[in-house]
Amino acid sequence: MKRTGDRAKSLASSASVAVAASVDRLLDKRVCLGITGFSGSGKTTLITSLIHQLRYYPDAALTALPPALQNRLLGVEISPLKDLTLFPYLESATALDREAWPSATRQASGCLLEIKYRARSHLIPGTKPGISRLYLEIHDYPGEWLLDLPLLEMSYQDWCQQSRKLAAAMPEDPFLVQLKSLNILEPLHEWRLNSLWQQQLDFLKRCQQQGLTMIQPGRLLHLAPDSPESQFPFIPLPQLVELSEEEKSAAPGDALYQICETNYQHYLKRWVKPFYKNTFQRIDRQLVLIDVLKSLNQGQEAMDNLRMSLTQVLQNFEYGTNNIIRRLIQPRIDRIVFAASKIDQVLPDQHEQVRSLTASLVRESQRQARFREVDIRCEAIASVRSTTYAEHHGQRVLKGNTEEGPGLLLHPPLPEQYPDDDYWQNCQQWHLRKLLPPAGLKLNNGSRLPHIRLDSVLNDLLGDKFQ
């Protein structure tokens, strides 16, 4: 009886939380913020900084966020979201204190920020403004998972066709050489398919090390050897697109291509579709982080790959106006910010060029979103500012701690639009050095965390909610 009673209490509590969340959403006091970016774009660091700036708002530099500038913020509390691991804010802040970047995201996590503030106006003239609350849901997940969203619109054969583009960048890779020798219309021993699956995991990692972004399936980039995904192995078979329907229909039911196709569909159903449904279809507002500088530094192939990746992934966003009914039953993104991350790697007089370049990368997505009356912003930010300015031979340069030690950072002029051939020739000597967090941070004691325009992004995403 006691167990039954405890279960009933738990169900009642969950129902109460769900009802409260629905009411908050209906009253426009609950926002689900999607923070998206490919692996290495700085999502974990940004979420850590965002939480820290809001929690310690009296000492934070949030001059672009009206409720902070007007002393209307009153407090911020962090709590878990249902069915999600709590975002590791304290661990990430500790890493920054130790001059190390937070660990990359390997599993889904999230948090709920309850932001207490003083309302700017009151319904009854002559009375003092009341106290209001904004509930901000933040979802974090590995950036690699984002790469799989385009697969929802692809058949197995479509994916095999697209895999040719990835293969073109690594033509002599031993994994690809083995694929060419396979007879895909015949059965393949299970141990052999499992071996090729493991080799595929290593191949995808090599592609990532080459600076490529559009790597699918992205979820495979950081799988453990005994992961559930490995129980249903599949590999790309470029030969499939060259076969006729008659040849394929004449193959036995356990032919290699049919086993791979079945397991591919299982992968979409078991992992990709639930991720899309549970994360992307709930989002009200979206922040897309783009490490433009890294791709620009790695060359034309990396930049082309980044643009293609963004175009495909952003097609999966549900754009549209969030009216009072849609907020309750099926939210859609009504505001989106594209932000070039790690802007502290270039001088301030080049920030506008980076912002313009970012806009050129997402132009097609911007066009689609504007058609659906979505508010679009572009920014250039640094979640943690790791550089200061110095003079070197009469020239203003950046100074910061890098993996090779303290040093000065130089960079060529940056383009405002997608680079032409002349630009790639002129910037071949540019070596973008990896910065370390600034020394002397004491975040767990509430000290200030320097940033660049993170307050502007907060205002772009949430400013209209603090009325």
pLDDT tens sequence across 191-223: 999 999 999 999 999 888 888 888 889 999 888
List helix spans (H) across 115-169: 143-146, 156-169
Stretch among 51-65, 295-309, 319-333 having the lowest mean pLDDT? 319-333
pLDDT digits (tens, 9 = 90+) for 346-365: 999 999 999 999 998 888 76
423 burial class (0-12, 13-18, 19+ CB within 10 angstroms)?
A: middle
The reported pLDDT for the residue numbered 315 is 74
In this predicted model, which residue has the larger pLDDT, 114 or 299? 114
Give 264's pLDDT tier (boundaries 50, 70, 90).
very high
Stretch among 4-13, 158-167, 206-215, 432-441 having the lowest mean pLDDT? 4-13
Question: Which tokens belong to 111?
Answer: 């948090």
Mean model confidence pLDDT for the chain: 85
Q: Enumerate long-range contacts of 181-184, CB under 8 Å, 24 or more apart.
A: 182/237, 182/239, 182/256, 183/256, 184/237, 184/239, 184/240, 184/243, 184/255, 184/256, 184/257
Tell whether 130 is covered by a domain.
Answer: yes
179 burial class (0-12, 13-18, 19+ CB within 10 angstroms)?
A: buried
d(CA 340, CA 335): 17
Residues 269 and 310 in one domain: no
The reported pLDDT for the residue numbered 328 is 41
Question: Which tokens belong to 103?
Answer: 């660990």
Tell whether 397 is covered by a domain.
Answer: no
Query: Average pLDDT of 395-424?
Result: 88
Residue 134 has pLDDT above 90, yes or no: yes
In this predicted model, which residue has the larger pLDDT, 122 or 269? 269
Q: Which residues contact 384 (CB under 8 A, 6 or more apart)?
A: 45, 49, 96, 344, 437, 438, 449, 450, 451
The reported pLDDT for the residue numbered 373 is 67
Question: Which tokens belong to 223?
Answer: 């799988």
In this predicted model, which residue has the larger pLDDT, 453 or 141? 453
Question: Which tokens belong to 41?
Answer: 């774009």
Residue 327 has pLDDT above 50, yes or no: no
Give 26's pLDDT tier (boundaries 50, 70, 90).
very low
Tell whether 406 is covered by a domain.
Answer: no
d(CA 101, CA 386): 11
Are 295 and 303 in contact by the 8 Å Cβ rule? The answer is yes
Residues 255 and 108 in one domain: no
Q: Which of 231, 247, 278 is the last residue of a domain?
A: 278
Domains identified in the chain, total number:
2
The reported pLDDT for the residue numbered 301 is 86
DSSP summary character for residue 185: T
Residues 284 and 274 in one domain: no
Residue 238 has pLDDT above 50, yes or no: yes
The reported pLDDT for the residue numbered 372 is 62
Question: Which tokens belong to 27?
Answer: 């009253």
3-class DSSP state of 411: coil
Q: How are beta strands 30-37 and 405-409 bridged, if at all?
A: unpaired
The reported pLDDT for the residue numbered 210 is 82
d(CA 76, CA 65): 15
Tell whether 19 is covered by a domain.
Answer: no
Q: Which of 234, 252, 278 is the last residue of a domain?
A: 278
Q: Terminal CA-to-CA distance of the chain, rounded, Å?
A: 48
The reported pLDDT for the residue numbered 22 is 46
Residues 272 and 188 in one domain: yes
Q: Which domain holds residue 90?
A: 29-141+280-389+415-426+436-465
Q: How are beta strands 131-140 and 405-409 bridged, if at all?
A: unpaired
d(CA 388, CA 458): 23
Residues 305 and 183 in one domain: no
Give 125's pLDDT tier (boundaries 50, 70, 90).
low
Tell whether 149 is covered by a domain.
Answer: no
pLDDT digits (tens, 9 = 90+) for 49-97: 999 999 999 989 899 999 999 999 999 999 999 888 999 999 999 999 9
Tell whether 146 is covered by a domain.
Answer: no
Residues 262 and 272 in one domain: yes
Residues 301 and 196 in one domain: no
Residues 169 and 247 in one domain: yes
Q: Which residues contact 372 (CB under 8 A, 6 or more apart)?
A: 319, 320, 321
Token pair 């209209």 in the structure block, residue: 464
Backbone φ and ψ for 365, nearest 5 degrees, come out as -65, -40
Q: Left if phi > 0, otherwise alpha if psi is -120 to 50, otherwise beta: which for 83?
A: left
> What pTM, to 2 d.p., does this model score?
0.84
Are 197 and 173 in contact by the 8 Å Cβ rule? The answer is no
Are 256 and 185 in contact by the 8 Å Cβ rule? The answer is yes
Residues 245 and 326 in one domain: no
Residues 228 and 362 in one domain: no
CATH number at residue 67: 3.40.50
In this predicted model, which residue has the larger pLDDT, 150 or 383? 383
Residues 101 and 242 in one domain: no
Tell whether 86 is covered by a domain.
Answer: yes
Q: Which residues contact 166 (CB under 8 A, 6 or more apart)?
A: 207, 212, 214, 215, 216
Residue 50: name the closest of 458, 461, 335, 386 by CA.
458
CA 391 to chain centre: 35
The reported pLDDT for the residue numbered 326 is 42
Backbone φ and ψ for 79, nearest 5 degrees, come out as -145, 165
Tell whether 226 is covered by a domain.
Answer: yes
Are 315 and 379 in contact by the 8 Å Cβ rule? The answer is no
The reported pLDDT for the residue numbered 223 is 83
d(CA 168, CA 148): 20
Residues 269 and 307 in one domain: no
Q: Which of 212, 246, 278 is the last residue of a domain?
A: 278
Q: E strands, 119-272, where?
A: 131-140
Are 333 and 285 in contact by the 8 Å Cβ rule? The answer is yes
The reported pLDDT for the residue numbered 320 is 47
